[in-house]
Amino acid sequence: MRRQRYAAAKGGDRVGKRKRVPAVAPGRAVFTPSIASEILNLHPRTLMIYESENLIKPQRTATNRRRYSEDDIRRVRVIQFLTRQKGVNLAGVKYVLKLLQSLGQQGLEVSQVRELDALPEVSGDGITA
């Protein structure tokens, strides 16, 4: 009872009432390396290797601790796909990520590039398939 009166006097809610947690913005870095590595099912050291290879750049807190955003998680999933399923090494991954970024800056989607890829080539003599 005393706590309730104290909380009410301070303008707070009842004691024991939980506050709602706000939704996390997509670009906001909230995941620690251990949580991010759990989500991605990889060793935390692998995240540090990706960072040293400049494949990802996690944000830092005021105390210089790494924090990963959902965008970072998505980027690591792309890296995992390229390395595990396609057998691309990290130098190749870096090249592919740069290509994807430049396509995005030009306003092209990957599906549009695939459509262009399916078009027949034009040579000096005419069209070749």
- Flag whether pLDDT at 72 surpasses 70: yes
Instruction: State residue 121's pLDDT score.
Output: 58
Q: Helix (H, G, I), strand (E, B), or coil: what is residue 31?
A: strand
Integer CA distances (angstroms), 20 to 23, 72, 102, in order: 9, 26, 40
Q: How confident is the model over 10-61, as pLDDT tens digits?
A: 555 555 555 454 455 666 879 999 999 999 999 999 999 999 999 999 999 9
Buried b (16+ CB within 10 A) or exposed e, 45-57: ebbeebbeeebbe
Q: Is residue 112 within 8 Å of residue 98, measured between CB atoms?
A: no
Share of the chain above pLDDT 70, in %: 63
Q: Is residue 100 within 8 Å of residue 88, measured between CB atoms?
A: no
Q: Is the backbone of residue 122 left (phi > 0), alpha (psi -120 to 50) or beta?
A: beta
Integer CA distances (angstroms), 117 to 20, 44, 49, 120, 129, in order: 49, 38, 34, 8, 11
Parse the chain into domains and list their residue ranges. 26-119
Domain made up of 26-119: CATH architecture: Orthogonal Bundle (1.10)
Instruction: State residue 100's pLDDT score.
Output: 85
Select from 78, 63, 8 the least CA-distant residue to 32: 63
- pTM here is 0.65
